[in-house]
């Protein structure tokens, strides 16, 4: 197949490498022309994604931030061929899907939201790898739930990336869940590592510290945009966490072993329920 990819960072670069490794033709575009040039030199790209190459693409992936994807859609939607399949890989879905569905209806192409549940604490093309999505889940947000043919087509065109599970949902539910399963983890990890004690961790830390702080090394520009784009759901989860942490703090401050034990037990049970 012929694939077009907009944005050649960690996600877009990994997608490009996966498609290329599977024997497909890949066209790419990045706002940084040096990145596009390097991807051509290393053999990942067969050519640059332009208005002229849109027409030969079976699928066009938009893998930048929501703001950048929105701008790209507004500037280029009128050039997409009728019937083209355009899929975004943004970290939030509500606003970008509203725009994508609207422009698709106006210009005659098909838009589907998607979000791969895969990534690294690093960003940029140099960290991209063809196996990034292998075995991962991908969340799919279509305009209509009952279009089985479309969903089968999307799964087929994404298959070279190696996804193991496909979850179909709405943009609203996606953003609600991602606020907790992804964005909260980054907020908490990034706040936790700011303790002055962290600078003295060597020799005193093991797996729990390493795992908990892994995503504190983030791209602040991208995550600022994602957090603010999803602020309603993220604030709700943050308020729940702050209230919960206050309960632990109060129990420890008061030396209330029974209350603390109950809180710890409730957390253990909650974890066990997620594993059923």
19-69: pLDDT as tens digits? 999 999 999 999 999 999 999 999 999 999 999 999 999 999 999 999 999
CATH 3.40.50.720, the chain: domain bounds? 2-169
Is-contact 71 96, C-beta < 8 A?
no
What is the pLDDT at residue 146? 85
Q: Which fold has domain 2-169?
A: Rossmann fold (3.40.50)
Question: Which residues partner with 116 through β-bridges?
Answer: 138
Two structure tokens written together for 157: 């065109």
H or E segment to which residue 222 belongs: helix 220-229
Starting from the edge strand earliest in sequence, which strands make up the sheet with 47-48, in order? 47-48, 25-29, 2-6, 59-62, 85-88, 110-116, 137-141, 165-168
Could you tell me the pTM of the whole model? 0.91
CA-to-CA distance for 13 and 39, rounded, in angstroms? Answer: 8
What is the pLDDT at residue 121? 75
CATH 1.10.3660.10, the chain: domain bounds? 174-274
CATH class of 174-274: mainly alpha
Ranges of the chain with pLDDT below 50: none
CA-to-CA distance for 201 and 109, rounded, in angstroms? Answer: 53
Phi, psi of 116 (to 5 degrees): -70, 130
Is-contact 170 141, C-beta < 8 A?
yes
């Amino acid at each position: 197949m012929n694939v077009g990819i907009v944005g050649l960072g960690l996600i877009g670069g990994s997608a490009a490498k996966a498609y290329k490794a599977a024997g497909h033709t890949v066209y790419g575009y990045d706002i940084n022309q040096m990145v596009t040039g390097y991807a051509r030199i290393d053999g990942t790209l067969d050519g640059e994604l332009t208005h002229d190459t849109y027409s030969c693409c079976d699928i066009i992936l938009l893998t930048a931030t929501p703001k950048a994807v929105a701008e790209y859609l507004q500037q280029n939607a009128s050039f997409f061929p009728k019937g083209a399949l355009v899929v975004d890989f943004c970290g939030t879905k509500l606003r970008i899907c509203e725009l994508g569905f609207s422009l698709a209806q106006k210009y005659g192409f098909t838009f589907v939201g998607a979000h791969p549940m895969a990534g690294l604490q690093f960003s940029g093309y140099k960290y991209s790898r063809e196996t990034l999505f292998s075995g991962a889940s991908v969340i799919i947000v279509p305009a209509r739930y009952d279009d089985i043919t479309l969903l089968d087509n999307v799964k087929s065109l994404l298959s070279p990336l190696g996804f193991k599970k496909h979850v179909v949902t709405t943009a609203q539910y996606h953003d609600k869940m991602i606020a907790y399963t992804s964005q909260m983890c980054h907020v908490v990890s990034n706040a936790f590592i700011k303790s002055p004690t962290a600078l003295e961790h060597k020799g005193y830390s093991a797996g729990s510290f390493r795992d908990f702080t892994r995503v504190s090394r983030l791209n602040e520009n991208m995550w600022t945009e994602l957090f603010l784009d999803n602020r309603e759901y993220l604030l709700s989860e943050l308020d729940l966490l702050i209230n919960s942490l206050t309960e632990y703090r109060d129990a420890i401050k008061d030396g209330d072993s029974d209350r603390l034990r109950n809180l710890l037990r409730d957390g253990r049970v909650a974890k066990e329920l997620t594993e059923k």
